[in-house]
């Protein structure tokens, strides 16, 4: 079996050093801004400037405490599938907890009074500097993987659609640091996509495959009917220093989130709970209202420019209204900038999802779709409360009527407001991609909703817009 890799030690150590430097820098920079920078003209210093030594001595307590908090959140490890958005929200939580500890300690420490303004600045600067350090670590680690260094040998067990999706995802993301040895199954897969990957052999001889290929990570992607083989695979892995992960179907994850509640001493198993609490819904609505209103004001010049170009490019209305199904199955008129020729929609003979290189698009429509600028008027739908910034994408009535009959749990998408962007979209499931995959991601979002999850999706949406792949 493979030996421990250098980056398993160096990356966590490098991250820890960067965090310590970032915390110390944030503390010293906060002290300078508060007492010696032009900031003093805004918030005047009315007392004697405290000695720097007292603040430096404070960091002797703060840095170890914060690093321990980071370690308790398992943030010092080789994390091949980590994005900066994931790190950012974790940093905000840890720094907030750390600042509460620092302020509590300062309250009981009577020998010296620390500036509350310094604490406020330190909270903000720590988040910024720690995020920069983490981004640098992730960039360094991914640069190693792109050059083919420190890769982990991966074998996948399975030959179905789920297994193929996993293989393709890993193949498209070399920065994750996985070297795909191939797949093992009872026989070669008949699916054409598997021809791009090496067939390693049968599951019955998997231990020999582990030795021959020096496998370090095993991904099991078997269909529900083959779950009995997982026990056999677990036994085959005994005695080998390898990591084993199971890839269940998304719907299995959702239906397995069972909760037990008691009502008057009688236990009940909740198989489906409310998608979000009342306060969660109120908070989400306030956020949608404020952000959509702000964006509409800021983007007004862009709206005017696009309107002018659309009118010059082709005859017809500027906006395109289409009936969609939203929260609780209610219908509403979704607004887009018109990107197709007038009358093109009525020319459709059958239900079709987003079409790549759609010939019905206008010249400006091609650009609007590629950049997703045609979606901007949906901010009006968000402002009106018909949509949210984040949620499953709204579908047409005829789509809903068709797909609810063939796709399990399809109508569960309507348990929350539909959104301008969603978990499926930021994971590349747009346009003519698999509808079943999109639904699975939408249902995962609904079952795991949180405000932090919404912010994460919005940040990843910005990244997708800057490096756009495909559009609906």
pLDDT tens-digit readout, 61-71: 888 888 888 88
How many whole angstroms separate alpha carbon 429 and alpha carbon 171?
Answer: 17
pLDDT at 384 exceeding the cut of 90: yes
Query: What are the residue ranges of helices labelled H in 314-434?
Result: 363-371, 378-384, 397-403, 423-426
pLDDT surpassing 70 at residue 395? yes
Average pLDDT, the chain: 80
The tens digit of pLDDT for each residue in 240-280 reads: 677 788 776 544 544 445 555 555 445 555 555 666 777 78
Quick one: tokens of 148? 């083919």
Q: Rounded CA gap, 156 and 173, in Å?
A: 16
Q: How confident is the model over 304-332, as a mean pLDDT?
A: 89
Which CATH architecture fits 152-247? 3-Layer(aba) Sandwich (3.40)
Q: Which of 58-67, 111-120, 288-297 has the highest mean pLDDT?
A: 288-297
Closest C-alpha to 216, from 7, 12, 9, 3? 3
Locate CATH 3.40.50.720 in the chain: 152-247
Return the sign of the alpha-carbon dihedral for residues 464, 139, 144, 5.
Answer: negative
User: Residue 18: which residues within 8 A CB-CB, separation 6 or more?
Assistant: 133, 134, 136, 137
Helix and strand numbers, DSSP H then E, in the chain: 16, 12
- pLDDT value at 348 more than 50: no
> Residue 181 in 3-state DSSP?
strand
pLDDT for res 260: 56
Neighbours of 141 (CB within 10 A): 23
Average pLDDT over residues 148-176: 84
> Which of 1-5, 204-208, 390-394, 415-419 has the weakest average pLDDT?
1-5
Taking 50 as the threshold, does the pLDDT of residue 307 lie above it?
yes
Q: Which of 111-120, 169-178, 282-291 has the highest mean pLDDT?
A: 282-291
């Amino acid at each position: 079996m493979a030996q421990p890799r250098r980056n398993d030690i160096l990356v966590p150590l490098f991250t820890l050093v960067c965090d310590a430097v970032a915390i110390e820098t944030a503390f010293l920079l906060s002290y300078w801004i508060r007492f010696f920078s032009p900031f003093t003209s805004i918030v005047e210093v009315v007392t004697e400037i405290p000695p720097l030594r007292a603040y430096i001595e404070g960091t002797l307590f703060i840095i170890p405490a914060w690093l321990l908090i980071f370690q308790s959140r398992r943030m010092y490890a080789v994390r091949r599938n980590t994005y900066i958005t994931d790190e950012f929200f974790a940093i905000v939580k840890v720094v907030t907890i750390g600042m509460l500890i620092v302020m509590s300690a300062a309250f009981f420490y009577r020998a010296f009074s620390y500036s509350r303004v310094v604490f406020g600045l330190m909270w903000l600067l720590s988040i910024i500097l720690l995020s920069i350090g983490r981004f640098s670590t992730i960039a360094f680690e991914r640069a190693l993987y792109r050059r083919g260094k420190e890769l982990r040998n991966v074998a996948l067990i399975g030959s179905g659609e789920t297994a193929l999706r996993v293989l393709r995802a890993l193949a498209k993301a070399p920065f994750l640091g996985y070297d795909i040895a191939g797949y093992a199954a009872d026989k070669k897969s008949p699916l054409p996509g598997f021809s791009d990957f090496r067939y390693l052999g049968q599951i019955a001889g998997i231990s020999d495959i582990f030795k021959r290929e020096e496998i370090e990570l095993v991904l099991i992607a078997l269909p529900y009917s083959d779950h009995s083989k997982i026990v056999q695979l677990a036994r085959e892995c005994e005695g080998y220093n390898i990591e084993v992960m199971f890839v269940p179907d998304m719907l299995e994850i959702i239906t397995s989130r069972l909760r037990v509640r008691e009502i008057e001493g009688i236990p009940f198993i909740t198989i489906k709970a409310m998608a979000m609490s009342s306060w969660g819904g109120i908070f989400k609505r306030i956020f949608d209202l404020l952000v959509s209103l702000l964006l509409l004001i800021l983007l007004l010049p862009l709206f005017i420019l696009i309107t002018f170009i659309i009118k010059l490019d082709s005859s017809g209305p500027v906006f395109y209204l289409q009936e969609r199904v939203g929260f609780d199955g209610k219908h509403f008129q979704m607004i887009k900038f018109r990107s197709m020729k007038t009358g093109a929609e009525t020319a459709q003979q059958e239900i079709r999802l987003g079409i790549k290189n759609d010939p019905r698009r206008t010249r400006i429509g091609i650009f609007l779709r590629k950049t997703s600028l045609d979606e901007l008027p949906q901010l009006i739908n968000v402002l009106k409360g018909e949509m949210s910034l984040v949620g499953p994408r709204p579908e047409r009535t005829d789509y809903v009527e068709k797909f609810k009959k063939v796709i399990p749990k399809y109508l569960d998408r309507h348990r929350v407001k539909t959104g301008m962007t969603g978990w499926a979209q930021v994971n590349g499931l747009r346009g003519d991609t698999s509808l079943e995959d999109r639904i699975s991601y939408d249902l995962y979002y609904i079952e795991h909703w949180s405000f932090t999850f919404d912010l994460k999706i919005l940040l990843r949406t910005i990244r997708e817009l800057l490096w756009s792949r495909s559009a609906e």
